[in-house]
Amino acid sequence: MRTRRITRGLVAAGLMVAVVAPVTQGAQAAVTAGDPTQLTSGFYVDPSSNPATWVRNNPNDSRRTAIQNSIASKPMARWFGNWSNPIGTSVGNFVGAADAADKLPVLVAYNIPGRDACGGHSGGGAGTPAAYRTWIHDFAVAIGNRPAVVVIEPDALGDFNCMNADQIAVRNGMLKYAVQQFKDLAPNTWAYLDGGNAGWVAADVMAQRLTGAGLASAHGFTLNVSNYYTTAQTVSYGNAVNGKLSAAKPYVIDTSRNGNGPGNDWCNPPGRKLGTTSRLGGGAEMLLWIKVPGDSDGSCGTGAGIPAGTFSPVLAMHLINGN
């Protein structure tokens, strides 16, 4: 039983009331704590995701049914970056649609200057640290009191391997600011700093990086975003990271493409497969489809000629069939 849902029912019935129906003590505690999973009735399925848009625009394609049933109809994150203009409107519309459906949206903030410093395929981001601070502030304001899950800047800490000390210090400042914005301005949002994947950075080093980027003020951290390590491998890594933190934090795992485990590369490797669909638990706090299945990692591997972030039915079918 949820206060939000009771209120909506009364409004729909045209009743003017001073108070909402009582909730159980446990439910009231969950609402007070700002747990977005308790304020909603499941994960939001984005009707405007890249796969859903492709399905809608290709009614006669023989791959349509498979992509609709296996990917487009599943909850997944929406990524926001310098293509999301104005950011407040883009975020507000997405979170508002989820809120109206009483569902929990998952959003990815992906606009930090110098983005994808190591991989390069998704380079770009806000032009300056000041521009980023304005952007992420507007992002948090647009969510407001509505429930949400936000992944903060995939790869941002793994990329330290390709940055100098001054660049790292500037990036840490931006990440700390981002974490604090969601804590202060979006009280029903669980914000997670990205912690790379099981094959990238040693657990003790990642724990230090997360701490330096403001993890103490975040709800937790994310793992395996846009990568392929199995859930079991990632749980082991997440627990190892937690073992090196001064205080353990919840973590979530991107399972969108980890059904067959890792390949020989991170960039559109062949033979990968869809993983467990979004759910609570599963070895972590949540298993989520953060990377949109079928969206290219870049012009590489089985996605040669397909820019990063572009949906491809060919890539989608490879993931559905596991080949």
Predicted TM-score (pTM) of the model is 0.90
Residues of the chain with CATH 3.20.20.40: 34-321
- Count CB neighbours of 85 within 10 A: 10
pLDDT for 310 beyond 90: yes
In single-letter form, the type of residue at position 301 comes to: G
Residue with tokens 């909603």: 40
Q: Residue 1 corresponds to which tokens in the numbers above?
A: 């039983």
Closest CA to 138 of 88, 73, 90, 184: 88
% of residues, the chain, pLDDT over 90: 85
- pLDDT value of position 160: 95
pLDDT in tens, 259-305: 999 988 999 999 999 999 999 999 999 999 999 999 999 999 999 99
CATH for 34-321, among 3.30.365.10, 3.20.20.40, 3.90.1170.50, 3.40.50.11540? 3.20.20.40
138 an active-site residue? no
CA distances (Å), 301 to each of 27, 164, 273, 274, 316, in order? 48, 29, 15, 17, 14
pLDDT for 2 beyond 60: no
- 46, 99, 138, 155: the catalytic one is 155
pLDDT in tens, 154-190: 999 999 999 999 999 999 999 999 999 999 999 999 9
In single-letter form, the type of residue at position 320 comes to: I
Sign of CA dihedral 70, 71, 72, 75: positive
- pLDDT value of position 304: 95
Closest CA to 42 of 75, 9, 72: 75
- pLDDT value of position 121: 79
